Amino acid sequence: MRILFNWLAFCLLLLTGCGDGPPVDKADAPQTSKTSPENLRWRQAINGGESPTDLYLPDAVLALPSGEVISGAEEIQRYWSSQEGEISEMYTDTLILAREEPWIEYEIGGFTRGESPKKFLAIWMTDSTGRKRTFEVVTPHLPGPLPQAAIDRGRNRWVELCNQHDAETLIREVYTTNTIYYNHRPVVRGQEALIPVYSYMNNPDYALNLTPLISRAVNDRLVFEIGQCSGSYGGKYLIVWEQSAPDTWKVLIDSNF
């Protein structure tokens, strides 16, 4: 009887462990990792010289490490068409549900274009028209150690200033001058534009904490982070940290839903 029970338990483990979706909350995966049908269609469209605009919301945003922002599905398509090399070896290593209504997911993955490995961070929204990208960040990928202590200091300082109700100091000290903020409204660029957006943090009753769930060192100057907010806001967040000086990292890209 014990042998039969162990066999049934083993079969159940196989069934529950072998899904068709991409791996969730994994460390950097080899380039043979699974990815979504939408990502494979995206790769096929670009490699075939076709438009992937049906995989983007009309007002989607592409952010580049330089701080440049490309807005709109058509403009994003033109950007990808202007790049050289075939896209190969596309994979997903992290997929996290950020919100259920509407259905929003955060994804970290990568691909190779020509001889250049890339890492991307994407926000997907699913509605009656399907699953589409609403925001993406793409950067060269050069694996290296995660500067965990320095990132923790930056995040802890963010929380400290937020809970001191000093939005202006928070933005000027912890964000890059060309910072990008994206959520439900049009993208916000630069410290001066972001300070009034975050002015609600000046409310003495506002309190927030940030708990990282995933941190990925994508090259020697950028780290992708997905985490959980708690306190006055309980949703997920994503941050792209940029090294601004030795042992100092600031927020280049900030988003929450």
The rounded mean pLDDT for the chain is: 87
State the amino acid at position 114 in one-letter form. G
Which one-letter amino acid corresponds to residue 150? Answer: A
Q: Same domain, yes or no, for 96 and 160? A: no
What is the pLDDT, as a whole number, of residue 32? Answer: 40
Question: Cα separation of 227 and 251, whole Å?
Answer: 14
Does residue 28 or residue 114 have the better pLDDT? Answer: 114
Shared domain for 162 and 106, answered yes or no, is no
For 41-59, give one letter per residue: b (16+ CB within 10 A) or e. Answer: ebbebbeeeebbbebbbee
Q: Note whether residue 134 is domain-resident.
A: yes
So what's the pLDDT on residue 33? Answer: 60
Domain limits for position 133 = 21-140
pTM for this model (two decimals):
0.85
To which H or E segment does residue 241 belong? strand 236-245
Average pLDDT in the 119-124 region? 97
Q: Which is more confident, 226 or 21?
A: 226
Residues 91 and 155 in one domain: no
Mean pLDDT of 76-86: 91
**CA dihedral sign, ordered 148, 149, 152, 153:** negative
Find the CATH number of the domain harbouring 205: 3.10.450.50
Instruction: Say which residue, 248 or 3, is predicted with more confidence.
Output: 248
Distance CA 3, CA 9 (A): 10
Percent of the chain with pLDDT over 90: 76
Residue 4 has pLDDT above 70, yes or no: no
Q: Is residue 12 part of a domain?
A: no
Query: Is a pLDDT exceeding 90 seen at residue 50?
Result: no
Given a cut of 60, whether residue 80 has pLDDT beyond it is yes
